[in-house]
Amino acid sequence: DAGVIQSPRHEVTEMGQEVTLRCKPISGHNSLFWYRQTMMRGLELLIYFNNNVPIDDSGMPEDRFSAKMPNASFSTLKIQPSEPRDSAVYFCASSLQVRDSGYTFGSGTRLTVV
Amino acid sequence: EDKVVQSPLSLVVHEGDTVTLNCSYEVTNFRSLLWYKQEKKAPTFLFMLTSSGIEKKSGRLSSILDKKELFSILNITATQTGDSAIYLCAFFSGNTGKLIFGQGTTLQVKP
């Protein structure tokens, strides 16, 4: 089991550019979560999917953020246009069910917007 | 609004010390509370607590939940430098099913 796989590991981009973060959940897991971590705000839930369907996107900060899950093995988080305040570590996690204790996190994507 | 508050935000101790990390919460429909350890990368699961007064234990780490006073503690005895990490408290909101995290406590264990 390779765990939750995120790419890229690091991303540095200029303000205004589009950024796409990718996640492959653990095979068989039905729920997928995108979190953002900053020093100021800690770990914040942005959006989560259950069976590929977005259930709650209330944590998405602005319309510049969007997420998709076209199939059970792939999800993307897109920021367009990016801004310096989007700089953070973005984590993807998956679990068998939404309330399952076994959230497995990926290694994260460290995004820096300059 | 559901929230969870951890204290202290940071802590520096020496090897061999015992530490107690605190987590208090306000949740309208509480289901369970979880502790995670985050080293350089992803948070890793430590404990899940659903019932008051029942201690969960794993090696030198233990945790307990008080549903009346709405808090949980995480104890680490005989700390080692490898215990240096961010310790995160989180709960499942019964209303939304979402896992909500606290700010975390950054623990540094010095040799």
Tens-binned pLDDT, residue by residue, of chain A (114 aa): 679 999 999 999 999 999 999 999 999 999 999 999 998 888 999 999 999 999 989 899 889 999 999 999 999 999 999 999 999 999 999 988 766 666 899 999 999 999
Q: How far is B31 from chain A (nearest CA, A)?
A: 9
What is the tens place of the pLDDT at every residue in B31-72? Answer: 889 999 999 889 999 999 988 888 999 999 999 999 888 999
Q: Exposed, middle or buried by CB within 10 Å (0-12, 13-18, 19+), for B14?
A: exposed
| Mean pLDDT (whole number) for B65-93 | 93
What is the tens place of the pLDDT at every residue in B7-16? Answer: 999 999 999 9
Decide if A105 and B31 are in contact by the 8 Å CB cutoff. Answer: no
Predicted pLDDT at B10: 95
Compare all CA atoms of chain B with the CA of A102 and give the residue at the minimum distance.
B45
Please give the DSSP secondary-structure letter assigned to residue A26: P
**CA–CA separation, A67 vs A106, rounded Å?**
17
* Option in B41, B48, B103 nearest A101 (CB): B48
Predicted pLDDT at A100: 62
Give the best residue of A23, A96, A101 to mutate against chain B (max B CB count within 10 A). A101
Predicted pLDDT at B95: 67
Contacts of B63 (CB under 8 A, 6+ apart): B35, B46, B47, B49, B55, B56, B57, B72, B73, B74, B75
Predicted pLDDT at A1: 62
Predicted pLDDT at A96: 85
Contacts A45 to B, Cβ<8 Å:
98-101
Q: What phi, psi does B83 have (nearest 5°)? A: -85, -10
Predicted pLDDT at B1: 74
**CA–CA separation, B8 vs A85, rounded Å?**
26
Predicted pLDDT at A5: 97
Decide if A43 and B34 are in contact by the 8 Å CB cutoff. Answer: no
Q: How far is A105 from chain B (nearest CA, A)?
A: 6
